[in-house]
Amino acid sequence: MRREIRLGGFGGQGIMLAGQILGRAAILAGKHATMTQSYGPEMRGARVAADVVIADEPIDYPKVIKPEISVFLFQGAYDYYRREVGQLLIYDQDLVKPELGEPPDGLRVFPIRANGLAEELGRRVVVNIVMLGAFTAITGLLPVEVMEEAVLRSVPKKALELNKEAFRRGLEHGKELLARLDSEGRR
């Protein structure tokens, strides 16, 4: 198994930290992981991406060739990478407006409220952790407990409770979205 994931956003949203957490969770789950990163011409406020490869076997090529899963928290990142979204697109419905029309066959689309949920917690800085919670529920790629442990090992101690709550809110939101799409027969 080799899974290729692209996380895209803008500098300052914690996209690189999210990629590191995802890789750490994969390793905690006994898998292999790599992460590469790219930045727009400026850093803060410009497009950034963290590409994560997770595999059962040692990884012979560390870069994403063709992402299977794409997660976007910024319109500029989506616009830049939209031709390579893979089979699963997760995006922040408040910050990204994909122009998909009717999604192509084989593409599953999940609009999430990452920014809105982070704002409800009073700290938009946890938008990346909310997104990781939703990602965990939607993909089922890694166990919830392992993802949560990776989050808690990766954030400052003074912010553990905030990040734990952000992850849980994202996780619940992802589960609710899956249930709603299942009931509509759209997943």
Query: Considering the entire predicted model, what is its pTM?
Result: 0.90
CB 111 within 8 A of CB 126: no
Amino acid letter for position 26: A
Tokens of 60: 């012979």
The CATH number fitting domain 2-183, selected from 3.30.70.100, 3.40.605.10, 3.40.920.10, 3.40.720.10:
3.40.920.10
Tokens of 28: 């905690």
Q: Round to whole Å and give the CA distance between 52 and 109.
A: 20
Domain boundaries defined on the chain: 2-183
pLDDT tens per residue across span 28-87? 999 999 999 887 665 556 789 999 999 999 999 999 999 999 999 999 999 998 888 889
Q: Residue 34 has what pLDDT?
A: 96
Half-sphere exposure of 175 (CA within 13 A, CB side): 8
Half-sphere exposure of 28 (CA within 13 A, CB side): 20
Q: Residue 90 has what pLDDT?
A: 95
CB 170 within 8 A of CB 130: yes
SS3 assignment for 94-138: CCCCCCCCCCCCCCEEEEECHHHHHHHCCCHHHHHHHHHHHHHHH
Q: Round to whole Å and give the CA distance between 170 and 185.
A: 22
Q: Residue 99 has what pLDDT?
A: 76
Q: Residue 33 has what pLDDT?
A: 97
